[in-house]
Each structure stands twice: as structure tokens, then as C-alpha cells.
Amino acid sequence: MKLIEVKDVKKYFPVQKGFIESLITKESEYVRAVDGVSFDIKKGEVLGLAGESGSGKTTTGRLCVRLIAPTEGQILFDGNDIAKLRGKELRLIRRRIQFTFQDPTSSLNPRRKIGEAIGDALLLQNIGTPDERKERVEAVLDRVGLSPASSFMDRLPHQLSGGQKQRVVFGRAIVLNPEFVVTDEPVAMVDVSIKAQILELMMDLKKEYGLTYLFISHDLATSRYVCDRIGVMYLGKIVEMADKDSIYEDPLHPYAVGLMSAIPVPDPKAKKAKAIPRGEIPSPINPPSGCRFHPRCPKAFERCPNEEPELRDVGNGRQVACHLYD
């Protein structure tokens, strides 16, 4: 059963111009952060989005929970187009979808106590009495490993470690018993020693609450550990989508090949073929014509700069946007 359906979604951000520049040219410019993305997420699945900074991963995640509205396209949650929801309908949907931000420190109000930070969601949704909300918050704190809960309720964010703040963020996400959670780089801001604990917490919460995740990460090894399927994004587009083992063991798109070859190998004596993309990622304001990866692609040929490849099924549930596989 499909819980999330993303259909040809685009998100363009207007570029702010200076006074002199606006006099010289009247033409508007846009950052094409997400430019025609389509995918679905099944109930109980963990879908990963991987790619370089600026590929559109985080923007896609924010679109999926209606933190921002799409410029074009549809995002369906359980059959409802969330871009069209307003008022009470939108508030009710927000009980079922949540987002965890990359930096737990900046996502927590430094003047709000931890108990208040988690309980605010219950208050905004008019759930329970004050005593019932307090009891629920304490239960959530215990569940995410902040025990005893009573010793954390009145603490401020600066009194917690990075790992503890990340646990608070997950507690805030699950306090409403959601069905779908977007996690944006959930272990990027914590020590290596804490990463495994946070990932283990994520998967435990998935089993206990029946969660569906969109897992956004630049850490490819972590994505393989957590995800069922992985989509590789480049300059606002998905260039390959497949199950995690296929992506890691036999990537097809030249950009995906480059990403996989950049994963460190534990054995220093092991030799690994290098296919790291050349040059820098182009500007999303004026992306290359045709295939957006062609200026950096070692396998580009005459068709690539002239014709944009479609994301096509190539069998076994795999999709690739590359002329090599037409």
C-alpha cells in the first residue's frame, strides 16, 4: 500500500536581485531546487535519498510534509493532496506526518524546557489535559532513552549533549503517534560513537510505531544500513532508484557509480575502482541542457547534452535516467 505518492513535483525559489541588477534585466531567475521528481513510499518502508549538497534532498523532504508548498505537481499522503489542505484538515494531517531537522541544537528553542518542547505538539493539537500531556511526554522521554524522564523534563537544550538533543528531536516527532517521518541527516551532527545508538533507536521506533521513513543522508554507508530502497538525486532530479543492495553492489547511472566509489573501504590494501565525477556541480539556477550530469560524466556522448533522459524502468523494480539504458 502506497502511503506517499510524489508526482512530477517541482519547487523553484526566486533569486533575489539587487537594485542595479533589477534595472539591467527584468527577467526573473529561479533556483530549481526540485525539478520534476516522482516516487512513492509504501507503508512501513524506509526510502533513502542520497546525493551531494544542493541536489534537492532536503527540499524534497520538506515538500513531503508540507513545510513548503510545491511550485508544480502533487504530493499525496494516504490519497490526500497535502498541498490543497487548509485549516482543520491540514492540522489533522500534521498529526500523522513529522520532520526531524539536521541540527538538533538549532531546532530546539533555547529558552524552552525539554518537557515543553515535546509537549507543545500535544498542546497545539488540543490533545489531553495538562496532567495527561505531562504523563505522555514522560513516557516518550523514557522511550527514546532519556531516563528517568523526570530529570530531563525541566532541563534546557544547552544542558544536553548532542546525542541527547537528537533523542529529544525524535521524541518530539513521535509524541503524536505519526505514521510518516522525514529524517534529515539524523546522525550528521552527533559523534561517531553515538551514531549507531541513534540509528538503532530509529529502527526500534519504526517497529514499535509502524513508522514509514524518508531518510535523507549524504552518508551512503548509513543509508544502506537503514533503508529498503534508495533514490540518488542530482541537481533536483532523481537519476536512479533501486533497492539498497542493487544500488551499492551494481549502480547503473554514472553519477551513482561515482557516489558508490567514494565510499571508504575499511581494508587499506583493498583496491577499488575510482569513478569520482569530475569538476563541480553546476548551478541550479541555470542547469545544463539535456542530461544535467553530462558535463561531469565520463560516459557522455552526443545525445546527452541535447536530450533529457527520462526515469525509466529497467527491470527488477529499478529505475534509471540515463541514455545508456534506453
Cβ-proximal residues to 315 (8 Å cutoff; 6+ apart), any chain: none
Rounded Cα distance, 314 and 68, in Å: 32
Question: Residue 196 above 60 pLDDT?
Answer: yes
What does the pLDDT read at residue 93? Answer: 93
Residue 134 lies in a domain: no
Of 36-40, 173-177, 313-317, which range is least confident?
Answer: 313-317
Task: Give the Cα-Cα-Cα angle 69, 70, 72 (nearest 5 degrees).
Answer: 145
Residue 40 lies in a domain: yes
Question: Residue 28 above 80 pLDDT?
Answer: no
Question: Residue 128 above 90 pLDDT?
Answer: yes
What domain count does the chain have? 1
Strand partners, 181: 98, 213
5 SS3 class: strand
- Beta strand 180-184 with 212-216 is parallel
The segment with the largest mean pLDDT, out of 66-70, 185-189, 220-224, is: 66-70
Residue 121 lies in a domain: no
* Amino acid present at 139: A
Q: How confident is the model at residue 220 (pLDDT cuts 50, 70, 90)?
A: confident
What does the pLDDT read at residue 300? Answer: 92
282 SS3 class: coil
Q: Are 181 and 213 in contact (CB under 8 A)?
A: yes
Residue 70 lies in a domain: yes
What does the pLDDT read at residue 69? Answer: 95
Residue 284 half-sphere exposure toward CB, CA atoms < 13 A: 22
Biggest alpha carbon distance in the chain? 68
**How far separated are the first and last CA of the chain, in Å rounded?**
29
Residue 204 lies in a domain: yes
CATH of residue 39's domain is: 3.40.50.300
Closest CA to 62 of 27, 107, 105: 107
Give the H/E segment covering residue 33: strand 30-42
Q: Are 301 and 291 in contact (CB under 8 A)?
A: no
Task: Give the Cα-Cα-Cα angle 193, 198, 202 (nearest 5 degrees).
Answer: 155
Q: Which domain holds residue 84?
A: 2-96+176-325
Q: What is the pLDDT of residues 90-100, one digit of tens each?
A: 999 999 999 99
Residue 115 lies in a domain: no
Rounded Cα distance, 76 and 109, in Å: 31
What does the pLDDT read at residue 188? Answer: 86
Residue 219 lies in a domain: yes
Q: Are 61 and 217 in contact (CB under 8 A)?
A: no
Q: How confident is the model at residue 290 (pLDDT cuts 50, 70, 90)?
A: very high
Q: What is the pLDDT of residues 107-120, one digit of tens each?
A: 999 999 999 999 99
Sheet containing 318-320: which strands, arranged edge to edge? 97-100, 180-184, 212-216, 46-50, 229-234, 237-243, 318-320, 312-315
Phi then psi for 233, rounded to 5 degrees? -110, 145
Rounded Cα distance, 212 and 173, in Å: 12
177 SS3 class: coil
Cis bond before residue 254 (omega within 30° of 0): no
Rounded Cα distance, 247 and 233, in Å: 13
Percentage of the chain with pLDDT > 70? 93
Q: Are 122 and 94 in contact (CB under 8 A)?
A: no
Question: Residue 272 above 70 pLDDT?
Answer: no
Residue 106 lies in a domain: no
What does the pLDDT read at residue 18? Answer: 66
Q: 321 or 276: which carries more pLDDT confidence?
A: 321
What does the pLDDT read at residue 269? Answer: 62
